Every structure is written in structure tokens, then in C-alpha cells.
């Protein structure tokens, strides 16, 4: 195992970045917490170049110094990158411009979406140190066990990357993975839009009529306050309290305080703001967003589950994670004629979109082969 170096000085971090920039690739991981804050708190950045492992302390270093490395042509090898990218953009102001996500690559190699530990075990035949899910990565100093665990997260990524690339090239799928990684890298992430925060409230779909407008307005207020205080929305107002407020629509602070789930100590100072949100919400007509299904010609709605079954069959044949090939939304958008649909472009068009076009156009059909499998039949 490569000896790790603890980096808690800007000059040392600058030297590390300079060394990493001459490498054609580097492995990266982060440790962060988000249970007590609205925005994730970056606690550690791990970087491995194959010859060195650095544990960068963001509590002591200016992590924006990593910007030149992220902007360089060097390939960042990372596992399950979505949350890491969000955290890096918030803390560093930027993220790597080129990534290779080993979890995505595993999906194209018949492994679904494995955890890092299971991927390392399957690929490198190594058992990673077990992590304590309650580890406080913000506490200093980190123990030797914590440092070993953190370093192990990037120790094997470059080797896994090399093995995956070799297999992907043999299968002709490397470009597919690279395209999917770029989709992930360029996908917007970060906080939800405040006016859509209500859609994440548990059981919100039980609300009817004006209660939906109240839920949207109060959830928007809650989200904005949580952002300003940098605390989780549930600490501003619980979901249960939000639903009760939406259903009862209190018009005064006294009525608000009598709502079940409302913590008077936490809410008293902002009661008038909540009541005003309720008033505003009652004036709104709000509907739940609909999926692409509502835009589909009614004649084709029954086609969606059949096509999803065909997607699953293609995934089985090619040993690819079916969620990588196409989601239900992808299929609905294709049927609805959305030009930007992923199934109309690139490798997804070749694997799925062309078949779907033939089925919808009447030049192909799906049937069972007598052995419990679907097959595509070209029609005369």
C-alpha cells in the first residue's frame, strides 16, 4: 500500500497539485458530512497518483488550490462520483473536467452498481478496511485507522481503471462509458430549487386542492430559511408539521402554534412568516408535475411496459445494467417525440432507440421465444 501523506499546509498542497498535474490520471475521493447542515461539509480529500497518496485537510488548506489540477487534461478516476462532484463544486468552486467513474464502468461490465468495497474485492481481490458509518471525519486529529481507511479508498482505483478500460475496449464499450461519465459530470447538481422542495415532502401526494399550494409555499419558505441558516430543512420545520399546516391552513400565529408537530420554541420567532406563506399558498393553484406519459399518444401508453421489458432483455444479453440503458422517462420521452431524448442519440440509439423506432413504426414486433425470453422480429 502506498504510504499516505497528511496535507495541512497550502505550500505542500501546491506542490502536490504540481506533481499530480504531470500525471495522465489520478484517483480521487472525498469524505463529508451533511446530516447537521444544509450544505455538505467537506472533511477530507484523498488523491492518489499511483506513486503517492495525499490526504488533504480542507479544514486547514485552501482547497481552491486544487483548481489547476481539476482544469488540467489529467483524468480523474473516481467511484460513484455524483455526490463528490457536488461537494467539490461547493468547496473548491470547481470539479474535475474529465472523470472516469468506476461504478458507471462496472455497470457496462455486468456488475450493476457495486459499492467500492465490492468492486475492489471482485477486481483486485482485496478486502478494504471496514468503515465505521458513524466516523466523525471533521474531528481532528484523525486516527491512524481513519487515515488508513481514507487512503484505501483511492489506493486501488487506478488499477481498477486500467482493468476496466482493457475489458471495455475489448467489448467496444469504452466510448459508451466515457459518454456516460461526461453526462454525469455535466449534470446540474446541488440544492433543490426552493419552489420544488415540497415535492420531496413525505406523503405530500395525499394533499388535495389548495393544501398543495400551501405545502409548496411553506416548503419554499422552509428551504430558503434552511439555506440561510445552513441547517437541514427538517430542523426548521418537520415534514409532519408542514403537512398539518398545509391541511389546516392556519391564518394566525395562535392557530399555527396549535398545529400538531409545530415546535413553538423554534417557530415562534418566524410564525408571521409562515402564516404569510400559508396566505400566499392558498392563492395558488398547484398541480403535481406529470411524467412524460401524459404527453404520449393514448394509443402508445400500453407500449411503455413492453418496451421496458425489452430494455431489460437487451441489458441481459449484453450484461449491462438496465438503468444505464434507459429509464422509464427515457422511453416515455422517445414515444412522445422529444428530440433531446437520450435514446435518439449516440450508443443508446444504436442499442435501444433504433429498435424502439422500428417497433413504433410497425416494422418490428416483440414476441416470446417459447423459453421465457423476448425477441425482436422484423416484419415484412
Task: Indicate whether 170 and 224 sit together in one domain.
Answer: no
Which of 224, 254, 282 lies at the terminal end of a domain, its last residue? Answer: 282
CATH assignment at residue 369: 1.10.150
Q: Output the pLDDT for position 138.
A: 96
Which of 217, 249, 282 lies at the terminal end of a domain, its last residue? Answer: 282
Task: Indicate whether 160 and 46 sit together in one domain.
Answer: yes
Task: Indicate whether 50 and 74 sit together in one domain.
Answer: yes
Q: Output the pLDDT for position 291.
A: 53
Strands 4-7 and 53-56 come out as parallel
Asked, for residue 43, whether it belongs to a domain, the answer is: yes
Read off the DSSP letter of residue 114.
-
Asked, for residue 130, whether it belongs to a domain, the answer is: yes
Task: Indicate whether 120 and 80 sit together in one domain.
Answer: yes
User: Reduced to 3 states, what is the DSSP secondary structure of residue 46?
Assistant: strand
Asked, for residue 267, whether it belongs to a domain, the answer is: yes
For the chain, which ranges sit under pLDDT 70?
Answer: 1, 131-133, 290-295
The Cα 14–Cα 16 span in angstroms is 5
How many domains does the chain contain in total?
Answer: 3
* Residue ranges making up the domain that contains 54: 4-186
Task: Indicate whether 24 and 125 sit together in one domain.
Answer: yes
The sign one gets for the Cα dihedral 68, 71, 74, 77 is positive
Beta partners for 47? 28, 54
Task: Indicate whether 82 and 203 sit together in one domain.
Answer: no
First to last CA, the chain: 61
Phi-psi region of 362 (alpha: psi -120 to 50; beta: other; left: phi over 0): left
CATH assignment at residue 116: 3.30.420.10
Cα angle value 44/49/54 (rounded, 5°): 30
Q: Output the pLDDT for position 134.
A: 76
Asked, for residue 158, whether it belongs to a domain, the answer is: yes
Task: Indicate whether 22 and 158 sit together in one domain.
Answer: yes
Task: Indicate whether 209 and 241 sit together in one domain.
Answer: yes
Strands 4-7 and 25-33 come out as unpaired
CATH assignment at residue 243: 1.10.150.80
Q: Output the pLDDT for position 266.
A: 85
Which of 186, 215, 230 lies at the terminal end of a domain, its last residue? Answer: 186
Task: Indicate whether 169 and 200 sit together in one domain.
Answer: no
Q: Output the pLDDT for position 131.
A: 67
Task: Indicate whether 349 and 297 sit together in one domain.
Answer: yes
pTM of this structure: 0.88
Asked, for residue 287, whether it belongs to a domain, the answer is: no
Task: Indicate whether 46 and 166 sit together in one domain.
Answer: yes
Asked, for residue 61, whether it belongs to a domain, the answer is: yes
Task: Indicate whether 316 and 268 sit together in one domain.
Answer: no
Strands 374-378 and 41-48 come out as unpaired
Amino acid at each position: 500500500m502506498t504510504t499516505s501523506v497528511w496535507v495541512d499546509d497550502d505550500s505542500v498542497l501546491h506542490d502536490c497539485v504540481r506533481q499530480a498535474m504531470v500525471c495522465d490520471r489520478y484517483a480521487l475521493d472525498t469524505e463529508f458530512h451533511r446530516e447537521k447542515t444544509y450544505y455538505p461539509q467537506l472533511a477530507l480529500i484523498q488523491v492518489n497518483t499511483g506513486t503517492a497518496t495525499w490526504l488533504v485537510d480542507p479544514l486547514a488548506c485552501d482547497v481552491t488550490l486544487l483548481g489547476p489540477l481539476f482544469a488540467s487534461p489529467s483524468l480523474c478516476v473516481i467511484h460513484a462520483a455524483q455526490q463528490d462532484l457536488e461537494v467539490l463544486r461547493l468547496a473548491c468552486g470547481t470539479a474535475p473536467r474529465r472523470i472516469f467513474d468506476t461504478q458507471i464502468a462496472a455497470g457496462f461490465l455486468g456488475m450493476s452498481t457495486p459499492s467500492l468495497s465490492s468492486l475492489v474485492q471482485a477486481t483486485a481481490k482485496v478486502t478494504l478496511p471496514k468503515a465505521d458509518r458513524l466516523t466523525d471525519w471533521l474531528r481532528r486529529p484523525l486516527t491512524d485507522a481513519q487515515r488508513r481507511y481514507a487512503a484505501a479508498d483511492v489506493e486501488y482505483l487506478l488499477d481498477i481503471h486500467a482493468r476496466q478500460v482493457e475489458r471495455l475496449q475489448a467489448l467496444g464499450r469504452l466510448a459508451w462509458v466515457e459518454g456516460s461519465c461526461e453526462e454525469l459530470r455535466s449534470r446540474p447538481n446541488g440544492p433543490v430549487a426552493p419552489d420544488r422542495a415540497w415535492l420531496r415532502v413525505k406523503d405530500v401526494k395525499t394533499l388535495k386542492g389548495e393544501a398543495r399550494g400551501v405545502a409548496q409555499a411553506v416548503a419554499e419558505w422552509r428551504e430558503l430559511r434552511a439555506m440561510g441558516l445552513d441547517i437541514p430543512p427538517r430542523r426548521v420545520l418537520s415534514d409532519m408539521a408542514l403537512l398539518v399546516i398545509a391541511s389546516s391552513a392556519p391564518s394566525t400565529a395562535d392557530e399555527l402554534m396549535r398545529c400538531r408537530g409545530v415546535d413553538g420554541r423554534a417557530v415562534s420567532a418566524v410564525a408571521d412568516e409562515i402564516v404569510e406563506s400559508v396566505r400566499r399558498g392558498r392563492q395558488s393553484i398547484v398541480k403535481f408535475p406529470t411524467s412524460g406519459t401524459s404527453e404520449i399518444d393514448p394509443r402508445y401508453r400500453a407500449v411503455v411496459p413492453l418496451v421496458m421489458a425489452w430494455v431489460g432483455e437487451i441489458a441481459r444479453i449484453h450484461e449491462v445494467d438496465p438503468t444505464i440503458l434507459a429509464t422509464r422517462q427515457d422511453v416515455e420521452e422517445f414515444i412522445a417525440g422529444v428530440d433531446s431524448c437520450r435514446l435518439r442519440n449516440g450508443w443508446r440509439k444504436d442499442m435501444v432507440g433504433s429498435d424502439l423506432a422500428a417497433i413504433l413504426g410497425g416494422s418490428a414486433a416483440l414476441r416470446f421465444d417459447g423459453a421465457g425470453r423476448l425477441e425482436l422480429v422484423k416484419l415484412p
